[in-house]
Amino acid sequence: MPDRDVDDLGRARSFVSAVLRAATPAVVPSVVLLQTNYLGPMAYRRGVTERRAEYAASLIMADRRHRTLREVTARFASRGIELVMIKGAAFAGTIYPDPAERPMHDIDVLIRIERLPEASRLLLDLGFERVGFTRKLSAYYHAVVFRRGDIMFELHRNIVQRFRTRISVEALWERSTPDPLGSGARRLDPIDDLLICTLHIARHELAVPAINYVDVRRLWDRLTEDQHARLRARAADYRVTRAVEAVLQMTELLARGASAAPSVGVGSRLLLTTDDVLLGVKPRRARQIGQKLLLTEGARERLGLGFSYVAAIAEGWYRGRAERQR
C-alpha cells in the first residue's frame, strides 16, 4: 500500500475512533474513505465544511424517508397492519438527534408474516415495485424489497434466514411499544434494537460501513449494565452469541483505533480486520462462506442456514414464476 494510502487509513482509524468515543476528531480522512463509511455528514457536523453538500443531501433524504414512512404506516394502519421500525429507520430522532448524520438508502420494518401479502399489495398500490432476487419471495428468506424512485422499503418477515438462529420474532413483537415520536409505527425494546443491529452486521460478515458500528456504540451506551447482561443472555437463548460478540469486539477495536480482527474462537483469522472495514473490503466468496459458518452458532444452525438458502432459491423461483404468469 502506498505511503499516502497508509497515512489516509491512519487518519480514518483516528477519525472513527474519535466518533465512537464521542470525542472531537483531530484529523480527517480523504473524501473516499469518508464516503466509503457514510461519514461525510458526520464530518460536516464536526467542522469539515467541505462536506456541506453531502450533509444537505442527507438532510433532504432523511426528510423524504420520514414522510415515506408516515405515508406507508398510515396506509397500513387503515387496514389494521402494524409495523415495527428496525435498523437505521429506528435511529432517526433517537440515537441520532440529527437524522442527517445517519445516511441510508432504505427503510426496514418488521411485518407479521400473515399480513405480508396484503402489506406487499398496499406498497404496490402506493407506487412501489418489488425488486431483487426471486428468492426474497420465499418464506425462508427474511425480507421482501420494494422501491419507489430512489427509496427502498424492506418488509421483514424475519431478522435473518429461517433456522439460522432461534430468534423468537413473536417475542420481538411482544416487547415492542408504540413510537413516542408519533410515527404510528412501533419500536423495538432497546435491548432488541441493539441485538438486531448486531445481527444485521454479522449477516454481512462484518463488512459494513463504519457508520454501522457507530450505531452499535450508541445503542450500547444507552443501555445499563443490567441491560448489557440481558443482551448477552438473550443472545445465548437465540443462539447468536458468537455473532453478537464479534460485532461488539469489532466496535471496541475501532473505538481504540486498533488494526486487528475480533477473536471468537477457532477460525477467527477468517474474519475481517478493522482496516478491512474502513477500506470497504468485500471478501471473496469462499472466504465469505467460511465467515458465515464461523458466525453461525452451531451445527444445527449451520445446517439450517444451508437448508434455508436452498429452499429460498427453490420456493422463490416457483413464486416468481407464478407472479410473472398472473
CATH of 49-188, one of 1.10.150, 3.10.450, 3.30.460, 1.10.287: 3.30.460
**Residue 36 pLDDT:** 97
Query: Three cell numbers at 170?
Result: 413473536
Q: Give tens-digit pLDDT for 49-103.
A: 999 999 999 999 999 999 999 999 999 999 999 999 999 999 999 999 999 999 9
**Residue 4 pLDDT:** 57
**Residue 1 pLDDT:** 58
Of 111-115, 202-206, 216-220, 307-311, which gets the smallest average pLDDT?
A: 307-311
**Residue 133 pLDDT:** 85
Q: Give tens-digit pLDDT for 127-140.
A: 999 999 888 888 88
Query: How far apart, in whole angstroms, are the C-alpha atoms of residue 121 and residue 130?
Result: 10
* Average predicted confidence (pLDDT) for the chain: 95
**Residue 2 pLDDT:** 57
**Residue 316 pLDDT:** 84
Query: Is there a contact between 211 and 162 (Cβ–Cβ < 8 Å)?
Result: no
Sketch the domain layout of the chain as residue ranges.
Answer: 49-188
Query: Is there a contact between 240 and 167 (Cβ–Cβ < 8 Å)?
Result: yes
Query: Three cell numbers at 224?
Result: 445499563
225: pLDDT strictly greater than 60: yes
Of 73, 83, 109, whose CA–CA distance to 186 is shortest?
83
Q: Give tens-digit pLDDT for 254-276.
A: 999 999 999 999 999 999 999 99
